[in-house]
Structure 1
Amino acid sequence: MTALRFDPALPWWAIASLAALALLVAAFALWRGLRGWAWRGLAGLAAALALAGPALETGTRLGLSNIVVMLEDRSASQDLPGRAAQMQGAEALAARIAALPRTELRRVTVGDDPDGTLLAAELARAVAAEPEERLAGVIALTDGQIHDPAMLPPDLPAPLHVLLTGQPEDWDRRLVIEEAPAFGLIGQEVEIRLRVEDQGDVPADAGTTASLRISVDGEEPLVTAVPVGVSMALPVTPGHAGQNVVQIEMEAPQTAAPELTDRNNAAAISINGVRDRLRVLLVSGEPHAGERTWRNLLKSDAAVDLIHFTILRPPDKHDGVPVSELSLIAFPTRELFLERIEDFDLIIFDRYRVRGILPPEYYLNIARYVENGGAVLVAAGPELAGVESLSRSPLAPILPARPTGRVVEEAFVPRLSDEGRRHPVTTGLPGAGTAEADPDWGRWLRMAETIPEPGAQVAMTGAEGSPLLILNRVGEGRVALLTSDQVWLWGRGFEGGGPQLELLRRIAHWSMKEPELEEEALLADVRGGMQLSVTRRTMQPSAGPLTVTRPDGETEEIALTEEAPGRFTGSWTAPEPGLYRLADGEISRVVALGPAAPREFEETVASAAPLEPLVDASGGSVSRLSDGLPEPRLVAQGRSTQGRGALGSWIGLTDRDAASVTGLERRPVLPGWAWLAIISGLILAGWLAEGRRGGGRSPA
């Protein structure tokens, strides 16, 4: 490499002034008609050129190799049938590229990511790391389904060749969730919008409808048929508070050519069930010191609609005051206990006596209300042991205990029973103590003695070890019985008091089936992506191991350890995203770890559409590996980069002919004495030209 360089002895403005002066002198001599004007001008320009210091610079040039970047998509979608074998051709292609003269290969692997196949980001990063003048081409072995097309560079200095995996006849049917609510009111329908979509070369025997199995919280699935390609609204009713997991599975189509995968044929949607308002009916039988305890508790909860009646004037009271002069509200027994009883989530009888206010058929209706899923809580006092006790009414069959007729009038400290230490209503109450240590609570002063019914759970005991708090399930509903009216002493701080509000709140919320107070429950909390933390609540002395059913149908077990009485925990890391079913006996739970269908499997049919704009802009090509591995070859810049020869197709990599300069040598065009001889010769020539005719003017 040789180039002309200048090393001026004076500033460029001085050299330019000298050249301009020489031209002016020559022009003046021409105007005056003097001979030799040209020689004088050339002498001045030669002097200016000599001062500019012209020199020849010769460099030593070292050729650089071409660089080829090969991106290999190794994401989960490349494990679909046939694609893994096609990806093995990457080794043969790498060997052919490495065999090209003056060519280096950079291999980049694109793996799995929670956000999908991020091939565009890897491509931009790999290209930016190489010198632009040496990049001969980029080759991408992929199914074309990338999830970061915005990261593609606007152009490339070299061609991009996309080698697609898969087969032209590939097809797939997938379940698409278009819209799903995060919350829903309990007992009210919400809509999930979905559609079934076909992709690729759909066979004729695939049909135009798909069969869906819809299950809520692992219950018996509902099977329905939906048309393919049509957006549908699926109504779902949250049945309880907390997470309601809706599992939707599509049956694989029975075709001669199977679809690519069934990993995108299912979805799990978690809808958090919330109550609009908790409707509670509180009936106080007579005024007493703790009457406002329940009222204050329920009125302090903004989510509770409370209707409270106190029976101040029972029918057997004869005081001679005309009804028209009373300012009391008549008890609307028919409306509450016959017509609108199903509107309530909980009915509380607070020291209620059977005095003929409610006819027998009303009590029977309350019993049916409980068996159908309602809840009754009885906070009793001495009246429980008398002839006006609810246990002597038609309500007796649903009560969790029957009184002996004895009222214990002595101070006692409430204690948790063995069942109470496991039951979520009472476990963990502040100051409850342990099996060996007494509770740090104040005493109560009286209670009614009862005998619990078979199957009822005694959570707390009182004087002489008699049942104090009894809980039971009747049909689909629940009944709780507190055999003392002295809980208000805790609220007044008597002898240190106790957790009055917390206990009453738990009893009420257990009666209304709040999920966090279920005795038999299986809870799962997803942490850190694939990390699963499991909690098993049970009244049994042991629990587990849990059986986990993976998305592929394989099962394994999770060991549980006892963290507290009735509470067993364990942790497990899932191997991949998807739907997992946890089961311990009859209790099961469906958990979605990551998306039910990972993003890799949302669109599985190979397509170069996301990469085609960059392929066209760079002058590259798109070909299928199913047609054979193309032969790489070097081509000159501006030549075609793809074609087909006698031995098959080929792809062109631009030969950049890049080089680096390793040394420089500079020498003057002429030595100083040569410049002096040239300038002197030009001046002498001008003088001789003038002297031919005496140096005068030429004749007119």
Structure 2
Amino acid sequence: MIASVVFDPIVPLWLLIGLATLSLLAVSVALWRGLTGWVWRGLAACVVLVTLAEPVWQTENRAPLSDIVLMLEDRSASQSLSDRGAQTSAAAEALAARLAARPNTELRRIVVRDSTGGSAASDGGTEIMAALSEALAQEPRGRIAGIVALSDGQVHDVERAPDLPAPFHLLLTGRAGDWDRRLTIRNAPAFAILGEPVTLTLRIEDSGAAPADVDRVALDIAIDGQEPQRFAVPVGRDIELPVTLPHGGRNVIQFSVPEAEGELTDRNNAALVQINGVRDRLRVLLVSGEPHPGGRTWRNLLKSDASVDLVHFTILRPPEKQDGVPVSELSLIAFPTRELFLEKIDDFDLIIFDRYQRRGILPSLYLDNVANYVRKGGAVLVAAGPDYASADSIYRSPLAEVLPASPTARVVDEAFVPEISPLGMRHPVTAGLPQQDTWGRWLRQIEVTPDAGDVLMTGAEGRPLLVLNRVEDGRVALLASDHAWLWARGFEGGGPQLELLRRLAHWMMGEPELEEEALWAEPTGQRLRIIRRSLAPQVGAVTVTTPSGETVEVPLQEQHPGHFEAVYDGAEIGLYRLRQGDQETVVGLGPAAPREFEQTVASAEPLAPLQEATRGGVLRLEEGVPGLRNVRAGRPAAGRSWIGLTPREAYETLDVARMPLLPGWLVLLLAAGFLLTGWLREGRR
């Protein structure tokens, strides 16, 4: 029971102050004029003013409230190292028992896991401050007597720390002799040019009580899951590592350091880097047998791509042409056949023969060299016209060994609408070409007989129009018509000429997104979107091999012709191997270095600002669980083997009783008595 005098004015405060000012002024005037009743008049004014302030005798019936202690238990991934989990559990139980024995004290236990719910693959780190803010929002701040965190101190959201109403203490897990070795990627580009080295910056560093006699360690480097290569590299220094990508598309590079004896974990001894390989410039050689409208179409297509270096030669004056013009007066340059087809042929990514026929300009030796160029990984595209069906056809040369279709010597001069074959519906070169039913007609086709490869488009009476084939390491394509340019001119509505020829040229140059048989995966967080492209009507399940060696069969569903997909959720961080049929690939899941394992040695440094601001303390659990003491607010709250709690003495008011100190009759009696006394005093004078 608490009793006190409180005031509850019956008029606004400003009015009460104004009345007091007027009363003081009136009494001052009476004193100045020498009126002997000024004292009694002042007392009467005081009685009125005090009455207006309404003093009340208030009694409260209070119930004391218990103090609240918040205990944060760090159960993040880094707490699974060594015996930290056992340390945390034992200390939490011991503190809970000691707090339960304290009078008028309650405990709130808050378990803090990784930011995505405790998965070891999470990259959010330990967010103790977020959990603490949420706990403080649910409890009255006036009852918080102390905050105790059981953690390794490696907190990743210190910048979000709330204003704390009580001392903050850190009971540090781990051992003073702990040490760890970590591999980090300082710099890794997302893209790199094929054939040119790109520099990656690595660093291997030791933290904690690491061995002092180690200055070099082994570093293993593996590309796309192949056999790793080992190098000896220094510790504690940035390492500039030049890497040349072996192929276009995604290249997965894995760096790893062997686990050393005594280090906390090997989870941060490896890192994955995924770099997309792109071509700097695509070098194309276009050889036109004679001027015709289609030649301009090819030139415009290739020149419109800024990444293409085009060398274009058109044979304007064949050897059999005899018009009497002296050679010295011709403004033409000699066709550098030897330089292009013998010395520099390997510099080109694609060679296009547009309506080319044998005229003695390219000897058989040169064309045989082109065939060898294809076998070694080159690409040749033949855009055939009537020349392909003639006796001087390029097919009547050593190049016939790599061409996918032979001519029948017949030229079909009739209008037809090109159509995509059933196989072409599944091939990335022709699949999904827009508005096939509105295409314009072509007016000529060369009749050919397919010898190998895939027929993607057909023409008049279902004859092969576009045939693609692979020859050893190279690629060849035959377009059995020279009227693709009609689409570019918009004849009868035109067609997707630009898109078709662009896809065809890029498939010839081996662009990964146009491979007809391919398997790849697109990672998003810890989820894999597995994509399989195939010409087969059905494909089997994908075998996924996890970083730990476990295999999982994931069935594929066909999304559209030739395109199959599946979704797989990976629980581990690291390199996943995917295999389906003869296709295989690798992909990395998770960050290059998981945040929970960036710094694994226990440290109080991240939380030091909070302890200094609240005068809390840091004690190692390996030295034992500290005792509990009461300390006053603002005093040091920690010492050797003890931590302090600040009693809050909070209470809850159950009921309140009020009684006026000046009843009305007493006010009237006092005011009248003082006024009468003053009047009588002045009247006697």
| CA apart distance, 1:676 | 9.7
Q: Is the contact between residue 16 and residue 48 of structure 1 (CA under 8 Å) also seen in structure 2?
A: no
CA distance in 1: counterparts of 2:368 and 2:332, whole angstroms: 27
1:447 and 1:463 in contact (8 A); partners too = no
Q: Cα offset for 1:327?
A: 2.2
Partner of 1:100: 102
Could you tell me which residue of structure 1 aligns to residue 120 of structure 2? none
CA contact (8 A) 1:18 1:44 kept: no
Identical residues among aligned pairs (%): 56
The one of 403, 411, 423 equivalent to 1:399 is 403
Alignment-derived partner of residue 299 in structure 1: 303
Partner of 2:255: 249
Post-superposition offset of 1:655: 0.8
Residue of structure 2 in register with 1:148 after alignment: 157
Q: Does 1:516 align with 2:513?
A: yes
Q: 1: distance between equivalents of 2:513 and 2:296?
A: 27
Structure 2 CA distance for partners of 1:56 and 1:474, relative to 1, 3 Å: same
- Which residue pairs with 2:564 in the alignment? 568
Q: CA distance change for structure 1 residues 25 and 384 in 2, over 3 Å: closer, same or farther?
A: closer
SS in 2 for 1:510: helix
Which among 280, 285, 296 is matched to residue 284 of structure 2? 280
| Residue number among 646, 655, 659 corresponding to 2:651 in the alignment | 659
Q: How is 1:262-341 mapped onto 2 (pairs within 5 angstroms)?
A: 262-341=266-345
Q: Which residue of 2 aligns with 1:181?
A: 189
Residues 619-676 of structure 1: CA distance to partner in whole angstroms, max 9, x if unpaired? 11112233333344444445553345xxxx3322111112344444445667788899
Counterpart position of 1:692: none
The 1:566–1:666 alpha-carbon spacing in structure 2 relative to 1, beyond 3 Å, is closer
2:132 maps to 123
Shift of the 23–440 alpha-carbon distance from structure 1 to 2, 3 Å rule, reads closer
Q: What is the letter of the counterpart of residue 446 of structure 2? A: M
Given that residues 169 and 617 in structure 2 are in contact (C-alpha distance below 8 angstroms), is that contact kept between their aligned partners in structure 1? yes
By how many angstroms is 1:220 displaced?
4.1
On the 8 A contact 2:410/2:446 being kept in 1, the answer is yes
Q: Alpha carbons of 1:12 and 1:341: their partners in 2 closer, same or farther (altered >3 Å)?
A: same
Aligned to 2:500: 503
Tell me the CA shift for residue 61 of structure 1. 3.2
Equivalence map 1:573-592=2 (5 Å): 573-592=569-588
* Kept in 1: contact 2:81–2:265 (CA 8 A): yes
SS in 2 for 1:290: helix
Q: Secondary structure at the match of 1:392?
A: coil
Alignment of structure 1 residues 332-481 onto 2, 5 Å:
332-401=336-405, 403=406, 405-409=408-412, 411=414, 414-417=418-421, 419-430=423-434, 442=441, 445-453=444-452, 456-462=453-459, 467-481=464-478
- Deviation track 1:167-194 (CA, whole Å, cap 9, x = no partner) reads 2222221211111212222322222212
Q: Given the alignment, which residue of 220, 223, 230 partners 1:216?
A: 223
Q: What residue ranges of structure 1 are gaps of 5+ in the alignment? A: 434-438, 690-694
The separation in 2 between residues aligned to 1:290 and 1:267, in whole angstroms, is 51
Residues of 2 paired with 1:332 and 1:481: CA distance?
Answer: 25
Deviations 1:371-421 (A, max 9, x none): 3332111122333344423333333333334x3653253646655455434
User: C-alpha displacement at 1:311, in angstroms?
Assistant: 0.6
- Deviation string, structure 1 residues 316-373 (Cα, Å, up to 9, x no partner): 3332211111122321223322343333221101111122212344334333433333
Looking at structure 2, the residues matched to 682 and 508 of structure 1 have their Cα atoms a distance apart, in angstroms, of 115
Cα distance in 1, alignment partners of residues 328 and 625 from structure 2: 101
Q: Is the 1:173–1:196 contact (alpha carbons within 8 Å) kept by the matching residues of 2? A: yes
Matches within 5 A, 1:54-65: 56-65=57-66
State how far apart, in whole Å, the 1-side matches of 2:331 and 2:533 are.
51
Secondary structure of 1:88's match? helix
Question: Does residue 609 of structure 2 align to residue 617 of structure 1?
Answer: no
Match of 2:77 in 1: 76
Partner Cα separation in structure 2 for residue 585 and residue 192 of structure 1: 34
Give 1:606 shift.
Answer: 1.6
> Aligned residue for 1:167?
175
2:546 and 2:577 in contact (8 A); partners too = yes
**Preserved contact between residue 431 and residue 441 of structure 1 (Cα < 8 Å):** no
Given that 2:445 and 2:480 are in contact with CA atoms closer than 8 Å, whether structure 1 keeps it comes out as: no
Q: For the Cα contact (< 8 Å) 2:47–2:671, is it kept in 1?
A: no
RMSD over aligned CA atoms reads: 3.7
Q: Give me the whole-angstrom Cα distance separating, in 2, the residues matched to 1:494 and 1:625.
A: 84
Could you tell me how far apart the structure 2 residues matched to 1:685 and 1:463 are? 133
SS of residue in 2 equivalent to 1:71: strand
Any idea what the Cα deviations from partners look like across 1:75-107, whole Å, max 9, x if unmatched? 222223322223323344334324422122233
* Contact 2:259–2:266 (Cα < 8 Å) also in 1: no
Alignment of 1:621-660 (within 5 A): 621-637=617-633, 640-644=636-640, 649-660=641-652
Query: Per the alignment, in what secondary structure is the counterpart of residue 399 of structure 1?
Result: coil
CA pair 293-219 structure 1, distance change in 2 beyond 3 A: farther
State the structure with more CA Rg.
Answer: 1
Instruction: Return the offset for 1:560.
Output: 0.8
Q: What does residue 118 of structure 2 align with?
A: none
- Distance across 1 between alignment mates of 2:668 and 2:464: 129
What amino acid is the match of 1:390? I
**Counterpart for residue 244 of structure 2:** 237
The Cα of 1:142 is off from its aligned counterpart by 1.8
* CA separation of 1:388 and 1:158: change in aligned 2, threshold 3 A: same
TM-score (norm 2): 0.86
| Equivalent residues of 2:149, 2:171 under 8 A apart | yes
Counterpart of 2:234 (choices 214, 227, 235) is 227
How many residues align structurally? 666
Give 2:108's aligned amino acid: R
- Pick from 584, 604, 608: which aligns with 1:608? 604
Taking structure 1 as the reference length, what is the TM-score of the superposition? Answer: 0.84
Q: Check conservation: 2:521, 2:529, Cα contact below 8 A.
A: yes
